[in-house]
Amino acid sequence: MSTVYVTGASAGLGRAIADAFSARGDAVGIIGRDEEALAAAAEELGSRVAWAAADVADYQALEAAADRIAGEIGPPDVWVNNAMVTVFSPFADVTPDEFEQVTRVTYLGGVHGLQIALRAMAPRGHGHMIQIGSALAYRPIPLQAPYCAAKAAITAAVDALRCELIHDGSPLQLTTVHMPAMNTPQFDWARRHVAHEPQPMPPIYSPAACARAVVHAARHPELREVWVGRSSVQAILGTRLIPANMDLLMAKRAYDGQFERPAEKADRPGNLFAPVAGAHRALGRFTDRMRDRVRWIGTSAIRERVVYGVLALLVLLLWLD
């Protein structure tokens, strides 16, 4: 069994990830901003769990939280970077402070987690860092520019770090798991500057199903990335092959498609700068529309060679004919 740390673990996908690792018998350390929510989550997770409150945007606070957890259940074998915030708003209406905060949490929070995990894992010569990404890192959509940019940035940082680990012959592993739309409380909590209630872009998956993809990644540390859900695969491959047409498609479908119904007012402060009050949970309000099963694709150097080898063979056979 392993010791697994999860950031952003008091609700949503992070809570589901903590549940999934705890269910397989791992010791789990959970980190988030809300002490009350973390304590409640820890009580439900069981005995092999520790928690510490910290804002991932604050490096010193996150490091102190990791040290506290290490003192209770030991250093991390697996570190899952999951914390995020977003803003639903036209680009021009996002304030500089809001852009900065999304960047600090969703991008720099991931960087902080990677650096702290590296320093905990390197002296022991083993460890696996898992960054929760998003299909939106490859295929940005309207009305979430800060979040899309932050997810693209952390994906680039992970790729740069991976190259360094390979160059140095490091035994540490690094995987990004790109997620589709999920039924989490994010859509009730996120800050917005639009007079509509946001919703996940269908298809909508359960966080528990997507958490199983993270456990799969932990079991297969050789994987470079894991693309979760048909929509993620379509978004990533579509952007690589036909980016201009994907722009047109997103302009047509992803603007109105992100909203469920009109809201009473346009502005909602949300959880951008502080946790929201009330019960924290894994599921959002879209349970009647979510899918409990999801498929994923894992990428690696070996798999790429096999795929391109088969394609090259097919081209050769067609040419010989």
Sequence-ordered list of residues with C-beta below 8 angstroms from that of 78, at least 6 positions apart, any chain = 2, 3, 4, 5, 21, 26, 127, 128, 129, 130, 218
CA angle, 28 then 126 then 46, to 5°: 10
Can you read off the two tokens belonging to residue 79?
């570190």
Pairing mode, if any, of strands 267-268 and 191-193? Answer: antiparallel
The partner residues of 262 in beta bridges, in order of sequence, read: 196
Q: Is there a catalytic annotation at residue 255?
A: no
The partner residues of 128 in beta bridges, in order of sequence, read: 78, 173
Catalytic member of 138, 147, 205, 308: 147
Q: Which residues are catalytic?
A: 147
